[in-house]
């Protein structure tokens, strides 16, 4: 099996599963309970929070455990717009956001908010000056994705944050689901920060929203006082502990392998550039080494995915979060690519465990599958 759909989800590290299983068996108590089992679970949860905070460079009380990236993004966007509604109803974001952010803003628009959607340049990137120029007196939130999940571009989050520091009443959120655990980041000027465990070899159902002191989105789930009152419900201690283990292991693994992944990325790019009817959608610079997006003219990407799957090679034709929605506007279309190019796109996403042999087998398979699919589709 050659798994190259790591932007959709990653395989948990064995050590992560060991932590999850052990915590599930030994620390099953409710952290809010007063007896020893509850206290033990509470201690483990506190240690996980402390470790996450240390790795992210924030205070422990600023780490809010959630069920994943979508919930973290919802809390950041919906919670902020609700909490600051009396101050203003304008937000700034981009056309390249993940659906879990875009749909939050679309919902806010239905409730009377106004949203400015920034368009990227030809390099797929947003500039800090674009963000500043889009601000209004009633702007309360700026939300910019850090690593675009389909084409892999990296936005200048630190630079944008420094510029926004001159506007302290505006909350700055970044969705880093595709970058956390893989790329270092300085959160000094970021107010709200989302990540998801299963994107960096952790278990599903766990995520984090970093919420800086003094920045208080309205909670979406109410009831108990868990997570400093920001997220009611009994905490998922095993998933939180396993997530923090995954974050540590992934930071180490990707720091050691990013150079090698860039070489593999370049090898794929060079190969596909030499193939008839194949276009590279991921910018040559300013992108991560583990995501490559291409388009195959006169093809049906689903057919290519199915053919590769039959050979034990797994890639995707679009974001897994959008693959079941027939009318979802593509990021490529939003970035100015033609309809055909957007509709014939494929995403190949690597992990720290991807080998050169994996890529060689992928490229050999593509060399035979692409022309065959193009011939069938083009002949119709």
Identify whether the C-beta of residue 8 lies closer than 8 Å to the C-beta of residue 316.
yes
Task: Please list, in sequence order, all residues whose beta carbon lies within 8 angstroms of the beta carbon of residue 252, skipping any fewer than 6 positions away.
Answer: none
Catalytic residue among 37, 55, 321, 377: 321
User: CATH code for 2-8+257-378?
Assistant: 3.90.1150.10
Domain ranges of the chain: 2-8+257-378, 14-248
Q: pLDDT in tens for each of the 380 residues of the chain?
A: 999 999 999 999 999 999 999 999 999 999 999 999 999 999 999 999 999 999 999 999 999 999 999 999 999 999 999 999 999 999 999 999 999 999 999 999 999 999 999 999 888 899 999 999 999 999 999 999 999 999 999 999 999 999 999 999 999 999 999 999 999 999 999 999 999 999 999 999 999 999 999 999 999 999 999 999 999 999 999 999 999 999 999 999 999 999 999 999 999 999 999 999 999 999 989 999 999 999 999 999 999 999 999 999 999 996 444 445 544 457 888 778 889 999 999 999 999 999 999 999 999 999 999 999 987 766 55
CA proximity to 242, closest of 201, 277, 208? 201
CA proximity to 315, closest of 280, 367, 358? 358
Identify whether the C-beta of residue 66 lies closer than 8 Å to the C-beta of residue 96.
no
In the residue annotation, 366 being an active-site residue is answered as: no
pTM over 0.85: yes
| CATH T-level topology, domain 14-248 | 3.40.640
For residues 362, 342, 178, 161, the Cα torsion angle rounded to the nearest 10 degrees is 140
Task: Name the DSSP class of 296.
Answer: E
């Amino acid at each position: 099996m050659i798994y190259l759909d790591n932007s959709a989800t990653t395989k948990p590290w064995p050590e992560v599963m060991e932590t999850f299983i052990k915590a599930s068996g030994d620390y099953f108590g409710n952290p809010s309970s007063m007896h020893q089992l509850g206290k033990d679970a509470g201690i483990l949860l506190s240690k996980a929070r402390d470790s996450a905070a240390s790795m992210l460079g924030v205070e422990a009380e600023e780490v809010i455990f959630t069920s994943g990236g979508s919930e973290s993004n919802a809390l950041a966007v919906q919670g902020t717009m609700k909490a600051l509604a009396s101050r203003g109803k304008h937000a700034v974001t981009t056309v390249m956001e993940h659906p879990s952010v875009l749909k939050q803003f679309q919902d806010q628009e239905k409730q009377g908010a106004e949203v400015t959607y920034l368009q990227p340049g030809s390099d797929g990137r947003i500039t800090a000056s674009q963000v500043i120029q889009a601000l209004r007196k009633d702007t309360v939130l700026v939300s910019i994705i850090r690593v675009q999940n389909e084409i892999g571009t990296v936005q200048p989050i630190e630079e944008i944050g420094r510029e926004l520091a001159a506007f302290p009443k505006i909350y700055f959120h970044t969705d880093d689901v595709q970058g956390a655990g893989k790329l270092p980041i300085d959160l000094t000027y970021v107010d709200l920060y989302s990540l998801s465990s299963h994107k960096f070899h952790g278990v599903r159902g766990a995520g984090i929203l970093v919420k800086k002191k003094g920045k208080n989105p309205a909670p979406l789930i109410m009831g108990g006082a868990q997570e400093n009152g920001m997220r009611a419900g009994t905490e998922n201690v095993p998933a939180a502990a396993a997530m923090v283990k995954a974050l540590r292991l992934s930071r180490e693994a990707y720091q050691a392998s990013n150079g090698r992944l860039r070489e593999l990325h370049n090898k794929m790019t060079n190969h596909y550039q030499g193939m008839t009817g194949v276009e590279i959608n991921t910018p040559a610079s300013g992108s991560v080494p583990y995501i490559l997006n291409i388009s195959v003219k006169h093809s049906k990407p689903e057919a290519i995915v199915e053919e590769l799957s039959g050979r034990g090679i797994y890639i995707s034709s679009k974001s897994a979060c959008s693959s079941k929605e027939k009318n979802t506007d593509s990021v490529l279309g939003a970035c100015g690519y033609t309809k055909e190019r957007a509709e014939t796109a494929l995403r190949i996403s690597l992990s720290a465990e991807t080998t050169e042999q994996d890529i060689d087998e992928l490229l050999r398979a593509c060399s035979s599958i692409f022309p065959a699919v193009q011939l069938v589709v083009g002949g119709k």
